[in-house]
Structure 1
Amino acid sequence: MSSNILSVFNPPPSRDLTPEESKDCLPCQILGGCGALIGGTYLATGLVFRGEKPGINSANYKMCVRGLVMLLTRSSQVAIVSTLLAAQQINALVLPNLGEAAAEVFRVEPAALNSIDEVANIIESSFNAASNKIASKLNIELFAENQESKFAPVFQSQNQEDIIKDKYIIVFKSDVGADVIDFHQNWVAEVHSSHVGKLHHKRNGRQHPFLNNLKQQSIAGNGGLSDVFHIENAVSGYMGHFLPQTIEMIRRHPAVAFVEKDSYVKAINYDTQADSPWGLARISHREPLSLGSFNKYIYDTDGGEGVTSYIIDTGINVNHEDFEGRAKWGATIPQGDADVDGNGHGSHCAGTIGSKHYGVAKKASLVAVKVLRSNGSGSMSDVVKGVEYAANAHLKAVKENKKGFKGSTANMSLGGGKSPALDLAVNAAVKAGIHFSVAAGNDNADACNYSPAAAENAITVGASTIGDYRAYFSNYGKCVDIFAPGLNILSTYIGSNLATATLSGTSMAAPHVAGLLSYFLSLQPGADSEFFEASSGVTPAQLKKNVIAFGSKNVLDDIPNDGTPNILIYNGGNKNLTEFWGTTTPSTADVKAVDLKDLETKIDSLVESAKDESEHLLAEIKKMVSSAFAKY
């Protein structure tokens, strides 16, 4: 009897099998409807054979085969082929147009199908030939030097000391579906298991460096995929400890956008000095501080109400009295760490955002997202997970649409070398609706070389002094959006429920902006209406634009002439915020009012410069005034 070929990519239509039909189906017995481990390789549902077996009803047999095949989605079939190839360790592959391929899997003589054991043997013995057949059908090209550009790039920190050995962050392409991601991650687990399984023997009495490194990092087991992240409709990926050969296979997978070597990140603080509560006062005055204004903060007492601010940091001393019960614990990302701020950095930032005495937005709700350990350092991958937590918590709050919820902000007063994965995560979180403030960094260098300072959708904040200078440590450059007080800032701390500390750094500047974002979000037009929905409120992009446009211009000294903005944040001094919101969604009347105001300003300027000019010029100006007002 001639053999038949089963094409997994073009299965015939079928109906569900009855229990009786399943009993008589040999492939069903072999595969169990979910897969089988044969020769160490995972064979997913659908790798079955068409044919006849003596004693088994031919029609039922074929029906069973077709039913199993129909369980497969197109992307699942692609993943199966990838798995087969990976298991063969053809690790220098490019898989072009997998989705369009019509791979033929195995050719089996039906006469040989006399027992399950015989079928298993056939599968095992046919494996190499099957992989070669698939490779041939898919036009697989073997690795060549000039194909390197086709593979997913690998990014890493410029500072080699920051890199965490053997640990990686893998980010998927934006158009990859959930089913492909699931199969890819299963495939990675199998590939890693295969590679690391060969290391479990000592070389000259010594353990393999990869396994030894896992032990030094207190990583249980054999490494591999440790965690995943996903921000809805934006970015997905995973992280883990992998061998170089595994990473090379991951790079060649068509679903992968890029790979990043994980690196250390640290809290950005600079110094501790005596008390000086000047920061809040400065952001509520246009003019420089004086003896009469240096300790006066002018604000709306409802600022921050209905807004949730996520502090992605070392945690928060949630029981501190100055938080008035508005602070809570959200998540602890570093494995094995307790739900407590053992450093103080996060508690200080939270206090500047929303504490009773030291906060910009004194009614905001504060959520601790711990990504840094008690020593103030952590990994980029943990920070990415923290951003994911904040973004998904915000999306959940938006969907729940509880009365009074007005939106979410986030603060990240931390940084490290350039991390595309972290920048992408922050940008995705902003796209999800969170208003993000990040610290520019304390190296007196270009902020564009640091993450998350380089994340374009966030507001990147430099530090200023009480004398209106750029703080000598503050980063600068075109990636900086605005400045805020960052030298000698008094706020809440750890050690007791009344503790305070005075710290300096762009870490202290960024929460001023996060607090200001929370402040303005709570006061946005229509926010007090019972029909208000956060999803229809001001967008992060628009609020960022307004905050920058509303800031005090050209009031700082020592600003480099390299595109660094000379803008200091301003809260409006509890005055009418029509000017602030006027750039958001102006009505026709608002447009006319703004136009008239601009025109009046121009005319006043002309009049001032024309005092020594002729009466003829003054007459022309008066005519211009009359004409302008007649127009409206």
Structure 2
Amino acid sequence: MLKQATALAAVLSPLVILAAVVPASSSDSNVDLSDKYIITLKSSADMAAHIDHVQALQEAQTAQDSAVTFTGVKHQYNISDYQAYSGHFHPSVMAQLHSHADIDLIEPDTLMRAAAVVTQSDASSSLTLISHRGLSQDHKGYPYDSTAGQNMYAYVIDTGVDVGHKDFEGRAYNAHMVDKKAGFEDKAAHGTAVAGIIGSKTFGVAKKVKILSVKAMEEPTGPLSDTMAGFDWAVKDIIAHKRRQRSVINISLTGEHSASFNRAVGAAFRQGVTTVAAAGNDGKEVKESSPGSAPEAITVASTNLHRVRAKESNFGAGITIFAPGEEILSTAPGGESKPVSGTSMAAAHVTGIAVYVAGVKRFADPRSLKNIIVKLATPKVVGDVKGSPNLFAYNNGGSTVGLLTGEIPRPPRVIGGGQLP
């Protein structure tokens, strides 16, 4: 029914940030990532034996030099043929690991950072944009399937979600937190906004989806290794509950290129798990960021409400699709609503479309789902794409026509859009 409504030398790697547009911070984070690394093993390595060996090296070094405490292995990642770990290691231990036969890649752990979610007083609804091909003033409201997202799951790896917000109607759950000492509260207000665009009653694309909050950060700052731990947990939970065809992971976090994170996204893809990633807000080529540069991700760039690329949005051939990301009204902690901006919000729109489409028809694998989202998109309406595919996200007008068969009608030629107001 339709309703209207890389190398050790890279220690100085740039920071990873939330993919919402945030004001620059004048103070540095208190999180110390000195001597902390993400280490990827060869697929042929015996991970358990290797971890035992590393811990033994660490303990031996600690016995010799107890002046500084090195905690050793903190997280382990194991998705399909991707296996890695992260932790805090003595320099002498790292010197031995750097030439170890088991190791394929060593990267420094980096820092996630966000000052605050931007608020703007003139926010408008973006749902009309993704449910109509053109920008005509005659297009009113948001046509959508009233069952959109039903029996589907969106895993939101972020700063937490205010699951008690009335607009989630009891469909949001605290599923996991990486730091067991932290509570589930969304202090940064970022994850709640992302979840609201995916599936809240008022602001959501898929208004029946279940939201599973995977909290990777307690404050607006936190290590990349923790976000990877949240991702690893989500993939395993999806597989354990046999939800491959009924789940989508949303990562509205972004940072400098990380081969480790990209490989994890690729491994999840091969296991049948779909990942939607924000492109990032650096105004640069998306190939320089992660996880948006992972070829297997559905990578989303941002536009304003006139379908012109947001000036902060990353761009390039690695983009999959554009979606609204400026002046978007969504849920906020405490039962509130606030306007937000950034590729975080663009990614959330596409995650909502993905769970809607996958709920209509169970696609065989993430590639098939990605292809149908691309096929549905409205072409050649985005301005200033800077080498990105000129595709704008579309929910099929709320119709199931073509979704069951995969025979999507060719989009009509659209006049308007992509123009500065």
* Shorter-chain TM-score range: 0.7 to 0.9
- In the alignment, the residues of structure 2 paired with residue 251 and residue 486 of structure 1 have an alpha-carbon distance, to the nearest angstrom, of 42
Q: Name the amino acid aligned to 1:571.
A: N
Q: How does 1:500-579 map to 2 (within 5 A)?
A: 500-524=337-361, 537-560=363-386, 562=387, 564-578=388-402
Which one of the candidate residues 169, 189, 193 is aligned to 1:344? 189
Partner in structure 1 of residue 55 of structure 2: 189
1:344, distance to aligned residue in structure 2 (A): 0.9
Q: Hey, what does 2:41 align to over in structure 1?
A: 172
Say which SS state the counterpart of residue 457 (structure 1) adopts: coil
Shift of 1:467: 1.1
Which one of 302, 305, 309 corresponds to residue 470 of structure 1?
Answer: 309
Contact 1:170-1:260 within 8 A present in 2 as well? yes
* Contact 2:275–2:297 (Cα < 8 Å) also in 1: yes
1:266 touches 1:416 (CA, 8 Å); kept in 2?
A: no
1:81 match: none
Structure 1 residues 476 and 288, CA gap change in structure 2 (3 angstroms): same
Asked if structure 2 preserves the Cα contact closer than 8 Å seen for 1:461 and 1:510, the reply is yes
Q: 1:300 aligns with which of 136, 141, 145?
A: 145
Compute the displacement of 1:516 (Å): 0.7
1:395 paired residue number: 239
Higher strand share: 2
Counterpart code for 1:459 = I
* Whole-Å separation in 2 of the counterparts to 1:273 and 1:432: 40
The 8 Å contact of residues 33 and 110 in structure 2, kept in 1 or not, is answered as yes
Q: Assess if the C-alpha contact under 8 Å between 1:439 and 1:453 holds in 2.
A: yes
Code of the residue aligned with 2:231 in structure 1: it is V
Give the distance between the partners of 1:330 and 1:356, measured in 2 at CA. Answer: 20
Give the aligned partner of residue 67 of structure 1: none
Query: C-alpha offsets along residues 490-528 of structure 1, whole Å, 9 cap, x if unaligned?
Result: 11111x2x211100111111000111101101111xx5x
For 1:281, give the aligned amino acid.
T
Match of 1:171, SS? strand
Deviation at 1:431, TM superposition (A): 2.2
Q: Distance in 1 between matches of 2:92 and 2:145?
A: 58
- Runs of 4+ deviating beyond 3 Å: 152-163, 266-270, 580-583
SS in 1 for 2:34: strand
Q: Deviations over 1:170-222 (max 9, x none)?
A: 1111233xxx221211111111112232222xxxxxxx5xx2xxxxxxxxx53
1:458 aligns with 2:300: no
Give the 3 Å change call, closer, same or farther, for CA 315–553 of structure 1 in structure 2: same
Distance in 2 separating the partners of 1:447 and 1:229: 25
Structure 1 segment 194-593 matched on structure 2, within 5 A:
194-200=60-66, 208=67, 211=68, 222-231=70-79, 233-266=80-113, 271-274=118-121, 276-290=123-137, 292-293=138-139, 296-374=141-219, 376-398=220-242, 406-494=245-333, 496=334, 498-524=335-361, 537-560=363-386, 562=387, 564-578=388-402, 580=403, 582-583=405-406
Q: Which protein is bigger by CA-based radius of gyration?
A: 1
Change (3 A) 1:324 1:553: same
CA distance in 1, matches of 2:382, 2:15: 35
Instruction: Return the letter of the residue paired with 1:394.
Output: I
1:157 deviates by: 6.4
**Amino acid paired to 2:394:** Y
Decide whether the 8 Å contact of 1:268 with 1:507 is kept in 2: no
The worse-fitting range, judged by mean Cα deviation, of 308-317 and 466-475 is 466-475
Unaligned runs of 5+ in 2: 1-5, 17-31, 413-421
* 8 Å Cα contact 1:262-1:379 kept in structure 2: yes
Moved more, 468-477 or 419-428: 419-428
476 and 269 in structure 1: CA distance in 2 versus 1, 3 angstrom threshold: farther
> Per-residue deviation at 1:271?
2.6
More helix by share: 1
**Cα distance change, pair 160–452 in 1 and its aligned pair in 2 (3 A):** closer
Distance in 1 between residues matched to 2:113 and 2:58, nearest whole Å:
30
Q: Deviations over 1:223-274 (max 9, x none)?
A: 211221222x231221111122211212222222111110012359763112
Deviation at 1:476, TM superposition (A): 0.5
Q: From the superposition, tell whether residues 185 and 433 of structure 1 become closer, same or farther in structure 2 (CA, over 3 Å).
A: same
Aligned residue for 2:110, secondary structure, equals: strand
- In structure 2, give the amino acid aligned to 1:446: E
1:574-609 C-alpha deviation (Å, 9 max, x unpaired): 23431x5544xx7xxx9xxx8xx99xx9xxxxxxxx
Number of positions where the alignment pairs a residue of Structure 1 with one of Structure 2? 392
> Residues 236 and 161 of structure 1: is their aligned pair in 2 closer, same or farther, counting only changes over 3 Å?
closer
Give ranges in structure 1 of 5+ residues lacking alignment: 1-151, 201-207, 212-220, 528-536, 602-632
Letter in 1 for 2:399: K
- RMSD (Å), alpha carbons: 2.4
Identity within the alignment, %: 32
Deviation at 1:153, TM superposition (A): 5.0
> How far apart are residue 156 of structure 1 and its match?
3.7
Measured in 2, the distance between the counterparts of 1:502 and 1:482 equals 22
| 1:356-401 deviations in Å (ceiling 9; x for gaps) | 1111111101101011222x22111001101101100000111xx7
Contact 2:245 2:364 in 1 (8 A): no
The residue correspondences of 1:21-36 to structure 2 (distance < 5 A) are none
Post-superposition offset of 1:154: 4.0
Match of 1:559, SS state, is coil
Give how far 1:289 is off. Answer: 4.5
| TM-score, scaled to structure 1 | 0.59
Whole-Å Cα distance in 2 between the matches of residues 262 and 387 of structure 1? 15
Identify if the C-alpha distance between structure 1 residues 267 and 160 changes in structure 2 by more than 3 Å, giving closer, same or farther: closer
Q: Is the 8 A contact 2:198 2:349 kept in 1?
A: yes
State the structure with bigger RCO (CA 8 A, min sep 6), 1 or 2: 2
How far apart in 2 are the matches of 1:465 and 1:268?
22
> Hey, what's the Cα distance between the residues in 1 that align with 2:303 and 2:389?
12
- The answer as to whether partners of 2:303 and 2:324 remain within 8 angstroms in 1 is yes
Residue 398 of structure 2: SS of its match in structure 1? Answer: coil
Is this contact kept in 1: 2:117–2:189, CA < 8 A?
no
The Cα offsets for residues 91-150 of structure 1, whole Å up to 9 and x where unpaired, read as xxxxxxxxxxxxxxxxxxxxxxxxxxxxxxxxxxxxxxxxxxxxxxxxxxxxxxxxxxxx
For residues 157 and 461 of structure 1, the distance between their equivalents in structure 2, rounded to whole angstroms, comes to: 28
